[in-house]
């Protein structure tokens, strides 16, 4: 009870809804629910059939891209004024969640298109927005994000890639590592040091680099544990000259822009994790109802039921946290940094636990490629690592609390 508020005054408040219609609905809108149905149908019919093959061959899921592009789901966040669907942050999470439910690699198509373009949406010039967003909205191009380096992962300010002014141009030298969808994307948001003698972290600027730029190249694919259908490569800049109008925002403000971007896009990793976990839970529920031991379905055993209950409970908690964070992102709330980190951290930990438990519920069958659970378990692991490890997420949350 709040100090100074008499009990009688609280009792006199009209807190009960006058009718069911007056009760606040903590639910998605009809439009969001309709979107989920559409994405689930295309995911199950057009994406799921190719998921195992994309993983096995470590090939970009072109069929998934084509299916998503046909329904404007490949980059749904692009505003309508640039030819996009104009989906809000919650809607984007629903798209990513439903695609990840059947194929985590394919869910990185809308996810990384958002990651690559959010820096522009936050701080680009009108000319840059008009130049780069329409091709992404139409599906003619994809957009990747290049922040990390081999020796600058969590320590982003320790990057070595440099951009030196030369007349009206900039010349880039160095590399970026762990770039999702590298080699498939035509455009890259690149962070580089523009003042080697400047203050650490305050000497980084953001640029758009195009795959056709001379001096730009893409390395070999990383051999990964999971998300194998999404290529991850190093990219290189060897005296890569770009015009001055490729600078995004202000000189020296690039790292701030990069971190502001992650505050928003980490939420989509949470959505991906929720989708992977939902796919694993669905597969496990189906299996335990069909698998018989000791004369009855193993779903009838209390130990199995308790596992399923815990999985579903944690999953729903993660989903709601992701949606709350997405709503805060859409509104531009000041606490989006905390909620973005919390959604990503909690949902990814939940996904790792649920996929592990799902494999356990299938026993030996879960350990084989005859079922999708082992792939989902491998895919879930990266959600605890990229866009900031979960240890870094806890630091972000703590700093927000201690401000």
Catalytic annotation, residues: 387
Kind plus residue range of the DSSP H or E element containing 218: strand 216-221
Please classify residue 6 by burial: count the beta carbons closer than 10 Å to its beta carbon, then call 0-12 exposed, 13-18 middle and 19+ buried: exposed
**Pseudo-torsion of CA 323, 329, 332, 334, nearest 10°?**
80
| Beta carbons of 394 and 159 less than 8 angstroms apart | no
Joined together, the tokens standing for residue 135 give: 């091709």
Mention every residue, 6+ apart, whose C-beta is less than 8 A from residue 304. Answer: 288, 298, 361
**What is the DSSP-derived secondary structure letter of residue 2?**
-
Sign of CA dihedral 154, 155, 158, 162: positive
Q: Please write down the HEC assignment for all residues of 194-211.
A: CCCCCCCCCCEEEEEEEC
Please name every residue paired with 149 in a beta bridge, in sequence order, or none if there are none. 152
**Strand 216-221 to strand 204-210: parallel, antiparallel, or no bridges (unpaired)?**
unpaired
Q: Please write down the HEC assignment for all residues of 237-299.
A: EEEEEEEHHHEECCCCCHHHHHHHHHHHHHHHHHHHHHHHHHHHHHHHHHHHHHCEECCEEHH
- Smallest Cα–Cα separation from 345: which of 392, 401, 377? 392
């Amino acid at each position: 009870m709040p100090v100074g508020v008499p009990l009688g005054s609280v009792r006199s408040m009209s807190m009960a809804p006058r009718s069911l219609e007056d009760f606040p609905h903590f639910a998605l809108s009809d439009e969001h629910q309709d979107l989920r149905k559409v994405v689930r149908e295309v995911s199950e019919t057009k994406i799921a059939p190719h998921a195992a093959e994309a993983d096995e061959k470590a090939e970009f899921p072109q069929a998934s891209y084509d299916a998503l592009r046909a329904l404007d789901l490949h980059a749904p966040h692009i505003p309508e004024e640039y030819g996009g669907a104009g989906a809000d942050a919650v809607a984007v999470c629903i798209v990513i969640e439903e695609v990840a439910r059947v194929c985590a690699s394919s869910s990185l198509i809308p996810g990384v298109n958002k990651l690559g373009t959010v820096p522009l949406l936050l701080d680009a010039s009108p000319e840059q927005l008009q130049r780069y967003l329409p091709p992404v909205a139409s599906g003619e191009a994809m957009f990747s994000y290049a922040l990390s380096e081999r020796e600058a992962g969590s320590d982003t300010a320790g990057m070595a890639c440099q951009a030196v002014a030369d007349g009206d141009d900039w010349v880039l030298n160095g590399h970026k590592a762990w770039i999702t969808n590298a080699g498939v994307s035509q455009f890259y948001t690149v962070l580089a040091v523009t003042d080697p003698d400047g203050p650490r972290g305050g000497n980084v600027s953001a640029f758009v680099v195009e795959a056709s730029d001379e001096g730009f190249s893409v390395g070999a694919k990383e051999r990964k544990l999971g998300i194998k259908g999404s290529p991850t490569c190093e990219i290189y800049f060897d005296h890569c000259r770009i015009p001055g109008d490729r600078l995004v925002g202000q000189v020296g403000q690039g790292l701030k822009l990069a971190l502001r971007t992650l505050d928003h896009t980490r939420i989509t990793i949470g959505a991906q994790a929720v989708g992977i976990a939902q796919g694993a839970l669905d597969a496990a529920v189906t299996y335990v109802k069909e698998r018989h031991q000791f004369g009855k379905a193993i779903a009838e055993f209390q130990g199995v039921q308790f596992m399923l209950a815990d999985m579903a409970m944690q999953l729903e908690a993660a989903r709601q946290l992701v949606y709350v964070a997405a709503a805060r992102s859409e509104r531009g709330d000041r606490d989006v940094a905390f909620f973005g980190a919390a959604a990503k951290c909690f949902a990814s930990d939940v996904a790792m636990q649920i996929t592990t438990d799902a494999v356990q519920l299938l026993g030996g069958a879960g350990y084989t490629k005859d079922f999708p659970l082992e792939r989902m378990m491998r895919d879930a692991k990266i959600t605890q690592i990229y866009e900031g490890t979960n240890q870094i997420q806890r630091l972000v949350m703590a700093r927000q609390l201690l401000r």
